[in-house]
Structure 1
Amino acid sequence: MIGLAKQGMVMRRRFDLGSLRWVCSGAAPLGRDVMEEVANSFPEVELVQGYGLTETCSIVSLERPQAWARKFGSTGYLMPGIEAKIISIGTSKTLPPNQNGEILVRGPNIMQGYFKNLEATKFTLDEEGWLHTGDLGYFDEKGQLYVEDRLKELIKCKGFQVAPAELESVLTSHPEILDAAVVPMEDAEAGEVPVAFVVTRNSSLTEVDVQKFVASQVAPFKRLRRVIFENSIPKTASGKILRRELTNTVKTLRRELSDKVRSKL
């Protein structure tokens, strides 16, 4: 989808895409800005976002743009027979619309448990049958679900929570940035700070340019501490960012910087 957003007009000129009618996105949160860019390049194509997990054995929610008012960035309405609620990360209390928390789902489609792993099953499925997805999101007042990020991927900076997907959406909104990924780096003062890997369009963008672009749109604690330029972002076959690889790269970089400081001392 990011490729279609950034290269859509070029692709239309190079290839005959007249038969393209419908595109569905899943596997990772898709921001409103990216969907709007794709829609502008392909106005005749119906764009749909859905949400589901391996543990749910089917789609949990899906957009139905022909039936209701369209909101780019939403994963749509719950599928028939499925219940869901949002709970507070700190208190586990059910949250009202437009408040971020962990997404819990329940229904006949939910798995019975992890194979030969009772401990993981108890951690994921509670006594009332709710599946704790580990995903962050919220419902709006009309019942549309928005998936923001993974709970375990949150960056904890000075006591605040920073969602990598939010910063990635800001980064890819830059016309010269083709793709981006954000991961944490350990910091003695803040605990963790966000670091970005970006792929650019053969531009002269500098690290400071990118940092200023993001800083102008986010709260101070969400500002990027480092920007690393790459030729590509490592991903799985389904399009999920391989954050562990990038986190290992950041750890190596931090060790190298620490060694340089020690050698100067």
Structure 2
Amino acid sequence: MSTPVIYGKDGIYRSPRPPISLPKDPRMSMIPFLFRDITAISKIPALVDAETGHALTFSDLRTQVFKLSQALLSLNISKNDVVLILSPNSILFPLCFFAIVSIGAIAATANPQYTINELTKQVLDSNPKLIITIHELYDKIKNFGLPCVMISPKTSSFVDRTTNDPIWYYQEMMKSDDTSKVRTRPSVLQTDAAAILYSSGTTGTSKGVVLTHRNFIASALMTTSDQETSNDPKNVVLCFLPMFHVFGLSTILYAQLQRGNTVVIMAHYEIGKVLMAIERYKVTLLYVVPPVIVTFVKQNEIVKLYDISCLREIATGAAPLGKDVMEECGKVFPQAALYQGYGMTETCGVISVERQKATTSRHSGSTGVLNPGVEAQIIDIQTMKPLPPFKTGEIRIRGLNVMQGYFKKEKATIETIDDHGWLHTGDLGYFDEEGQLFVVDRIKELIKCKGFQVAPAELEELLLSHPKIKDAAVIGLPDAEAGEVPIAYIVPLFINSLAEEDVKKLIAQQAVLSWSENAKRLN
């Protein structure tokens, strides 16, 4: 049984996990820390392209990061300059990210699906000096008046006649072996900014989250602490989650590599390709998001076509996943421990996670216990007082993984991180007596229906339990009698496979119980 969480007289919850130790040398920034054990891991594959099988060992990775960083210095990229990466997942994405941060520049990442208007806002906000992208996305950024590095192969078919902005090619930048051109490298500290990742934040519109080298190192050690405690062998981790997002970039890519694990990279998610990659590369650890879990459960016949006996662990995050869905997924992957966690961009990744080797409280619906070094409070949203176990309030977090602040948004930063270092998450949740954290919903998303506070996430979880529902979103609709009533938007698993009466029947049978139980915690 897990060690009970420490809930002190000061109203602070603390982690029962063993503490982590950050490097004491302030100059031990992300890249020196990443390669600190290079002698022992030099020949281990670091990155593998899932489609082609092309692999880079840790020694290869270090060499190429150094060469690319020198090329960036030759383009006059300096410390604290922002470089924007606009690209889908590829083996070159991490190379670019690591090269940027290794010279003290700041990597900003953008969603490749963004429209030109969305990218314009991000470019105006972050003011990058250079953009790294691929041919297929060039039309989105060609009118920004910025130089560009292409990481897709140089081809005669790609010709741009609308701009005179310089374009360099990754392949050509990496050819030079002239050591006389080695540039002086700036000193990089743990406290320096490493990345700007855009998030909707705890409230409001999208904001740039400034994460430091120390944030990434702390989060990486927190993320892999259970692997270290259990003395796990080196894992093979599959990454199809987008690397422009903190989940893919911090929790999977950086955290796993710094431990010496191998990361297999996929451009995007397709259930068949994911299962094929697990079988081919003997993946032992898989990070997913709830819709993927739902797909595994509802298309379990496809799962049976592949030998995935190598898979030992499946970790899910980014949104709450209910106990019932977790249990059903456990039946699909009986050989793998399935657990979930809770995190934010503002905390550089994971805040809490279920214990991988736990033998009790499995599939409780919780997000597990706090990561090592993380403190939490549950604050009553009316009285602003800290709350004991089983009382729901706003989750507040403190630790070395908490962001530096929002980029160029001092007011928003002050509103989010208070004078005592507490990050106000805007999420509602509670701890149980074992120190497991249950995330209920967002404060602003609660629906007030006839005096009850209804959490949309609870209803979404209920709807997703239906075998013919692929996805669901619940919002509040103003109502003269009830104040608000919940309405649901539903995506069926297959076209014309779901009748309205099926949904009504499900809600009629289960929703009253769900609402009344949730109301006990919220009120």
TM-score by structure 2 length? 0.40
| 1:184 correspondence with 2:455 | no
Q: Deviations over 1:92-150 (max 9, x none)?
A: 22111112211111112212321221221121112211111011111110101111222
Tell me the residue number matched to 2:416.
Answer: 124
Give the match for residue 27 of structure 1.
318
Q: Which amino acid aligns with 1:21?
A: R
CA distance in 2, matches of 1:158, 1:109: 40
Query: Aligned in 2, Cα 1:91/1:186: closer, same or farther, shift over 3 Å?
Result: same
Partners of 2:309 and 2:335 within 8 A in 1:
no
Deviations along 1:39-91, one digit per CA (max 9) or x if unpaired, are 01111012121111111124211211314523311211111111001111222
Instruction: Return the letter of the residue paired with 1:209.
Output: D
- Distance in 2 (CA, whole Å) between partners of 1:119 and 1:45 is 45
Q: What residue in structure 2 maps to residue 211 of structure 1?
A: 504
Q: Which runs of 5+ in 2 are unaligned?
A: 1-292, 517-523
Instruction: Tell me by how many angstroms 1:204 deviates.
Output: 5.8
Is 2:324 the counterpart of 1:62? no
Q: Deviations over 1:213-265 (max 9, x none)?
A: 21222239959xxxxxxxxxxxxxxxxxxxxxxxxxxxxxxxxxxxxxxxxxx
Moved more, 77-86 or 89-98: 89-98
Partner of 2:396: 104
14 and 197 in structure 1: CA distance in 2 versus 1, 3 angstrom threshold = farther
1:84 is paired with a residue whose SS is strand
Q: Does 1:160 align with 2:442?
A: no
Contact 1:194 1:222 in 2 (8 A): no
Find the counterpart in structure 2 of residue 47 from structure 1.
Answer: 338
Deviation at 1:167, TM superposition (A): 0.4
- 1:71-150 equivalence runs, <5 A: 71-72=362-363, 73-150=365-442
Contact map agreement 1:162 1:222 (CA 8 A) in 2: yes
Letter in 1 for 2:454: V
CA distance in 1, matches of 2:321, 2:489: 18
Amino acid at match of 1:213: L
Q: CA RMSD in A?
A: 2.3
The structure with the largest alpha-carbon Rg is 2
Q: What's the secondary structure of 1:185's corresponding residue?
A: strand
Displacement of 1:33 in angstroms is 1.0
Match of 1:245 in 2: none
Tell me the secondary structure at the aligned position of residue 510 of structure 2: coil
Letter of the structure 1 residue corresponding to residue 421 of structure 2: G
Q: Secondary structure at the match of 1:141?
A: coil
Contact 1:61 1:75 in 2 (8 A): yes
CA contact (8 A) 1:160 1:221 kept: no
Give the direction of change, closer, same or farther, for the CA distance of 1:20–1:65 in structure 2 (3 Å limit).
Answer: closer
Q: Name the counterpart of 1:261.
A: none
CA distance in 2, matches of 1:46, 1:117: 41
Give unmatched runs, 5+ long, in structure 1: 224-265
1:4 has 2:287 as partner: no
In structure 2, the CA distance between the partners of 1:220 and 1:169, relative to structure 1 (3 Å rule), is closer
Structure 1 CA distance, aligned partners of 2:351 and 2:498?
Answer: 40
CA displacement at 1:27 relative to structure 2: 0.8
Identify the residue that residue 175 of structure 1 maps to in structure 2. Answer: 467
SS at match of 2:459: helix
Amino acid in structure 2 at the alignment position of 1:71 = R
Q: Which one-letter code corresponds to 1:27 in the other structure?
A: A
Question: Could you tell me how far 1:178 is from its partner in structure 2?
Answer: 3.0
CA deviation profile, 1:147-181 (whole Å, cap 9, x unmatched): 12222222222332211110011112223333222
Cα contact 2:295–2:470 (8 A) shared by 1: yes
Checking the alignment, whether the CA contact within 8 Å between 1:74 and 1:144 is kept in structure 2 is: yes
CA contact 2:354–2:366 (8 Å) conserved in 1: yes
CA distance in 1, matches of 2:444, 2:493: 31
Matched-pair contact (CA < 8 Å) for 2:379–2:386:
yes
Shift of 1:207: 2.2
Question: Aligned pair in 2 of structure 1 residues 92, 71: CA closer, same or farther (>3 Å)?
Answer: farther
Letter in 2 for 1:129: G
| Counterparts in 2 of 1:158 and 1:123: CA distance versus 1, 3 Å | farther
The percent of aligned pairs where both chains have the same amino acid is 57
> Alignment length, in residue pairs?
222
Indicate conservation of the 8 Å contact 2:296/2:303, yes or no: no
Q: In the aligned structure 1, how far is the partner of 2:321 from the partner of 2:427?
A: 14
CA contact (8 A) 1:137 1:148 kept: yes
Name the structure 1 match of 2:328.
Answer: 37
Rounded Cα–Cα distance in structure 2 between residues aligned with 1:115 and 1:16: 46
